[in-house]
Chain A
Amino acid sequence: MPSVILNHTILKGYLNEKDSVSIDGTFVGDIKAEEIIIKDLGNINGNLNASANIEVNGEVIGDLSSDKIHLTSFAKVKGKLSHKNLAVDEGAQLEITAQTRKRISNLNKE
């Protein structure tokens, strides 16, 4: 079952999840998972590393790395992105440097 962190929850540290993570609370530290979803009230201060997908509706300060990154219209992101496929909705507030990678994720999968 995927992890769900609700609002009013503060986590400080390192999270490693084999499944998907959905965060509506505050997280200070790095997250590694298959899929990471930051909800509206989610607030992350740290790096996100997902093997499949990252979706951001909330605030993130830190680097994002995933095959697919989706920043929705409420997203506030500051940091570096590394991705194969990036989608940004109208209204997202960004302070980012983005880099599309091509063969790196194949190396990771092996």
Chain B
Amino acid sequence: MFFNSKKNETSVDGFSHLGEGASFEGEIHCKGEIEIAGKVKGNISAKCLRILETGKVTGQVNAEKVEILGCMIGNTDCVSVHVGEKGVVRGDLKFETNLSVAEGADILGHVQKVKKDKNKKVDTEKVRYLEHNQKAS
């Protein structure tokens, strides 16, 4: 960046929102909450993700809390997940604690409760990092 600016860190209340007329291709990293009413192609990582009835997501999702009221194509990895009555899921659902599915939801794919292996993940990342460093040096 050619700008040297001071950024005051403010906490955010509410959802980021991708509107109905929006189509986005690429990555989304959100430290807060995000609502999707449009089309997204690509991977999403967020703290809290809500796919609204008009929303359509194609890609991998990694979030703490996921609500699928629209269409989700791809694998979902999360702590708790809710699929609404008009929710459509094509792909695997992996959750750590809670799963709730409303009557009428359409799911095709593996639904699996996984154990909390956050420490393991960190370890494997560390190992990869070390391996990478070794290769580089």
The answer to the question of B123 belonging to the interface, with a C-beta cut-off of 8 Å to chain A, is no
Is A25 in contact with B16, judged by CB distance below 8 angstroms?
Answer: yes
Q: Given contacts A59-B5, A76-B3, A76-B5, is CB(A17)–CB(B29) below 8 Å?
A: no
Taken together as a complex, chains A and B put the C-alpha atoms of A18 and B21 apart, in Å, by 5
Is B37 in contact with A1, judged by CB distance below 8 angstroms?
Answer: yes
Residue tally, chain A, CB below 8 Å to B: 29
Chain A 1-43 per-residue mask, 1 if CB under 8 angstroms from chain B, else 0:
1111111111111111111010001000100000000000100
B31 in complex: contacting residue of A4, A9, A59, CB < 8 Å:
A9
**For residue A14, which residues in chain B have a CB less than 8 angstroms away from its CB?**
24-26
Q: Given contacts A6-B32, A9-B16, A17-B38, is CB(A29)–CB(B21) below 8 Å?
A: no
**For residue B32, which residues in chain A have a CB less than 8 angstroms away from its CB?**
6, 8-9
Is A13 in contact with B42, judged by CB distance below 8 angstroms?
Answer: yes
Q: Given contacts A19-B21, A59-B3, is CB(A11)–CB(B12) below 8 Å?
A: no
The number of inter-chain residue pairs (CB within 8 angstroms) is: 90
Is A3 in contact with B23, judged by CB distance below 8 angstroms?
Answer: no
Closest to A34 in B: B21
**For residue B27, which residues in chain A have a CB less than 8 angstroms away from its CB?**
10-13
Taken together as a complex, chains A and B put the C-alpha atoms of A20 and B16 apart, in Å, by 14
Is A3 in contact with B17, judged by CB distance below 8 angstroms?
Answer: yes
The answer to the question of A84 belonging to the interface, with a C-beta cut-off of 8 Å to chain B, is no
Q: Given contacts A9-B30, A10-B28, is CB(A16)–CB(B23) below 8 Å?
A: yes
Is A3 in contact with B22, judged by CB distance below 8 angstroms?
Answer: yes
If A3-B22, A14-B24, A18-B21 are given as contacts, then 16 extra A-B residue pairs at C-beta distance below 8 Å, sorted by A number, are A1-B19, A1-B37, A2-B19, A3-B18, A3-B19, A9-B29, A9-B30, A10-B27, A11-B29, A12-B27, A13-B27, A14-B25, A16-B22, A17-B38, A19-B22, A21-B22
Which residues of B line the A interface, CB within 8 A?
A: 1-3, 5, 7-8, 10, 12, 14-32, 34, 37-38, 42
Which residues of A line the B interface, CB within 8 A?
A: 1-19, 21, 25, 29, 41, 59, 61, 76, 78, 93, 95
